[in-house]
């Protein structure tokens, strides 16, 4: 499996980690993974909600040293 | 002699060039430093003014100045866009076939709207991101006699406030024309609230409810069907429209992509030093960075000040002085005569206050003061 594309959205208030992820998802191929790093608490909920609505897969979602790591796989 | 090369004569490049010329006046005058700017146009456009062009409030010719007239003496300026970058060899080649070498380079080539990236968007939407499009939008808005106006937003886009501003301004515009009861304004947004800034989103939601503007969140454009006048979302929903206002997705410039400096034309940038990743003598600023912050003029402005201060110190004393803290300041027009603002950085979120007429007038004043700001006087 290839390494996930990392979207470093730490300290992002605008355009926001989810916006960054949406943009990154457009650039990768189906089956590829994207990992968002975010310090924004809201993203831990926003990102899974969006993935669910669009139908991409949430691979993992954990917090370490104040940074959320949310990894997703492009499904379509 | 130290050679500094600035690529791009827009907001970021111009503020940086003037900032450096002031800090390095003595070195420029006695030939210890050479400051060169390469740009793609001999004109400088105040892009935020396009929003007002779309409502017929500003004519496009008011938005232009000769680029050379904005630059401090001693800055060598050429209209000769860079065609290829050789960051390892400290050299660029230009469209005219010349090469320029440098000790330091700053890249500020900006970004461009790509409505053609979404099927059907280009042919069917009105937008405000070029002079031609803003004029067409003015024509569309002024000849509109009622129906459903949908606002759709792509990611990433330039200036995070434009989707809200254009919606609020349309509300007041149609009200002024006595048409509001025949118009349904419908706003969509890619994420689960009305704006990516939580506080701005909350504030906007209250305003929309008060003004009767309807909305759908988690709406990412997939394609536009111009025959049926429908926009389909990635999430599987559909919005009908009679008039479509689009905030198209953006990309960095082709030159950046063609030279493989960064995916989609966004150059990987160190968030604190603003170095092109892996190149200590190369800097990026403005829309061209891949930083997860607003693609806005104020971002370019604050970044230019940091790069200017650091480069001047490096030339004079061989070391840099400070980091960029992610600072951004955005005005938000909340109608035709009210505005608020959001100010934030990497660690402190914004807290927008209720809009006032004073802030709106300040924004209008800034539209004029811009020419002093870009000269580095403000
Ligand atoms: C409708 C609209 C509303 C906006 N509202 C606001 C607002 O309210 N507040 C705010 O802060 N920002 C706003 N912005 C955003 C702001 O205008 C941009 O973020 C800002 O101009 C970015 O500055 P920049 O220096 O990165 O790029 P630009 O100002 O776009 O400059 C890029 C420069 O690079 C040159 N160039 C391009 N390719 C080459 C090349 N290959 N070689 C050499 N030169 C090249 C171009 O000729 C240009 O001079 C708005 C933008 C628009 C379009």
Kindly state whether B347 is in contact with chain A, defined as any CB-CB distance less than 8 angstroms.
yes
8 Å CB contact of A15 and B294:
yes
pLDDT of residue A76: 87
- Answer yes or no: is the C-beta of B11 below 6 A from any ligand 1 atom: yes
Percent of chain B clearing pLDDT 90 (strictly above)? 90
Give B168→chain A minimum CA distance, Å. 20
Query: Per-residue confidence at A12, pLDDT binned at 50, 70, 90?
Result: confident
Q: How many other CB atoms sit within 10 Å of the CB of residue B142?
A: 12
pLDDT at A61 over 70: yes
Mutate to test the interface with B, among A16, A35, A45, A76 (most CBs of B within 10 A): A16
CA distance B171 to B350: 25
Phi, then psi, of B58 in degrees rounded to 5 = -135, 140
pLDDT of residue B9: 98
Ligand 1 centroid to Cα of residue B311, in Å, is 22
State pLDDT tens for residues B108-149.
999 999 999 999 999 999 999 999 999 999 999 999 999 999
In this complex, the residue of B235, B271, B350 whose CB is nearest that of residue A13 is: B350
pLDDT of residue A3: 84
pLDDT at A1 over 70: no
pLDDT of residue B198: 82
Based on the residue annotation, tell me whether A69 is a catalytic residue of this protein. no
8 Å CB contact of A16 and B197:
yes
Report the phi/psi class of residue B81: left, alpha or beta, with left for phi > 0 and alpha for psi in -120 to 50.
beta
Q: Please, what are the domains in chain B?
A: 2-110+253-317 (3.50.50.60), 114-248 (3.50.50.60)
- The H helix count followed by the E strand count for chain B is 10, 22
Longest dimension (CA), chain A: 32
Give CA torsion, residues B35, B40, B45, B48, to 10 deg. -100
What is the pairing mode between strands B91-94 and B99-101?
Answer: antiparallel
What is the pairing mode between strands B147-153 and B243-247?
Answer: parallel
Strands (E), B28-182: 33-39, 43-45, 64-66, 75-79, 82-86, 91-94, 99-101, 104-107, 111-113, 147-153
The answer to whether B328 and B293 have CB atoms below 8 angstroms apart is: yes
Secondary structure letter of residue B213 according to DSSP: -
State pLDDT tens for residues B186-222.
999 999 899 988 888 998 999 999 999 999 999 999 9
Show which of residues 160-179 on chain B sit within 8 Å of chain A, judged by CB atoms: 160
Cβ contacts of A27 on chain B, cutoff 8 Å: 263-264
Q: What is the ipTM of this complex?
A: 0.84
The answer to whether B350 and A13 have CB atoms below 8 angstroms apart is: yes
CA distance B372 to B349: 28
Task: Using alpha carbons, select from A28, A7, A38 the residue that is nearest to residue B291.
Answer: A7
State pLDDT tens for residues B224-247.
999 999 999 988 999 999 999 999
Place of tokens 């979207």: A7
pLDDT of residue B186: 98
Residue of B nearest to A46 (CA): B192
Give B17→chain A minimum CA distance, Å. 27
8 Å CB contact of B155 and A50:
no
Task: Using alpha carbons, select from B149, B152, B230 the residue that is nearest to residue B183.
Answer: B149
- Report CA Rg, chain A: 11
Q: Is the peptide bond before A15 cis (omega within 30 degrees of 0)?
A: yes
Q: Whose Cα sits closest to atom 29 in ligand 1?
A: B10
Enumerate residue ranges in chain B where pLDDT < 70: none
pTM of the model: 0.94
The answer to whether B81 and B256 have CB atoms below 8 angstroms apart is: no
Mutate-to-test residue for ligand 1 from B16, B17, B38, B39, highest number of ligand atoms within 8 A of CB: B39
8 Å CB contact of A23 and B249:
yes
pLDDT of residue B41: 98
Counting every residue, how long is chain B? 378
Could you tell me the CA-to-CA distances from B2 to B30, B103, B137, B180 in Å, in that order?
12, 6, 47, 60
User: Which of B327-365 are b and which e, b meaning 16 or more Cβ less than 10 Å from the residue's Cβ?
Assistant: bbbbbbbbbbebbbbbebbbeeebebeebeeebbeebbe
The answer to whether B161 and B332 have CB atoms below 8 angstroms apart is: yes
8 Å CB contact of B294 and A42:
no
Q: What angle do CA B369, B374, B375 make, to 5 degrees?
A: 100
pLDDT of residue A45: 83
Residues 6+ apart with CB under 8 A from A68: A36, A37, A38, A39, A40, A41, A43, A44, A61, A62
């Amino acid at each position: 499996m290839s390494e996930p594309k990392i979207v470093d959205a730490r300290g992002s208030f605008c355009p926001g980690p989810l916006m960054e992820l949406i943009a990154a998802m457009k650039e990768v191929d189906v089956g590829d993974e994207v990992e968002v790093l975010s310090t924004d608490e809201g993203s831990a909920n926003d990102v899974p909600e969006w993935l669910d609505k669009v139908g991409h897969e949430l691979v993992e979602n954990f917090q370490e040293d104040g940074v959320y790591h949310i990894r997703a796989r492009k499904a379509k | 002699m130290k050679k500094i090369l600035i690529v791009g004569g827009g907001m970021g490049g111009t503020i940086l060039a003037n900032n450096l010329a002031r800090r390095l006046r003595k070195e420029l005058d006695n030939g210890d430093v050479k400051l060169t700017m390469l740009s793609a146009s001999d004109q400088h456009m105040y892009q935020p003014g396009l929003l007002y062009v779309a409502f017929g409030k500003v004519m496009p010719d008011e938005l232009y100045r000769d680029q050379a007239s904005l630059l401090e003496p001693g800055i060598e300026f050429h209209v000769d866009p860079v065609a290829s970058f050789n960051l390892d060899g400290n050299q660029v080649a230009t469209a005219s076939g010349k090469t320029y070498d440098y000790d330091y380079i700053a890249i500020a080539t900006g970004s461009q709207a790509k409505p053609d990236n979404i099927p059907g968007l280009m042919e069917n939407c009105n937008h405000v991101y070029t002079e031609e499009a803003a004029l067409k939008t003015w024509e569309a808005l002024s000849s509109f006699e009622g129906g459903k106006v949908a606002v759709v937003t792509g990611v990433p886009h330039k200036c995070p406030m434009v989707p809200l501003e254009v919606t609020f301004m349309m509300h007041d515009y149609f009200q002024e024309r006595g048409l509001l009861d025949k118009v349904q304004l419908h706003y969509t947004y890619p994420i689960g609230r009305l704006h990516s800034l939580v506080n701005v989103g909350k504030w906007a939601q209250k305003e929309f409810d008060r003004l009767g503007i309807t909305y759908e969140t988690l709406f990412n454009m997939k394609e536009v069907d111009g025959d049926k006048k429908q926009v389909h979302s990635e999430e599987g929903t559909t919005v009908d429209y009679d008039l479509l206002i689009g905030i198209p997705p953006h990309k960095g410039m082709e030159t950046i992509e063609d030279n493989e400096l960064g995916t989609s034309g966004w150059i990987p940038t160190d968030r604190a030093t603003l170095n092109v990743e892996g190149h200590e003598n190369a800097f990026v600023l403005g829309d061209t960075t891949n930083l997860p912050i607003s693609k806005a003029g104020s971002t370019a402005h604050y970044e230019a000040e940091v790069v200017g201060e650091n480069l001047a110190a490096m030339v004079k004393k061989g070391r840099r002085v400070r980091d960029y803290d992610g600072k951004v300041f955005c005005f938000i027009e909340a109608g035709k005569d009210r505005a608020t603002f959001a100010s934030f950085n990497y660690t402190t979120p914004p807290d927008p206050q209720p809009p006032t007429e004073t802030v709106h007038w300040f924004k209008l004043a800034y539209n004029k003061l811009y020419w002093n700001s870009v000269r580095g006087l403000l």
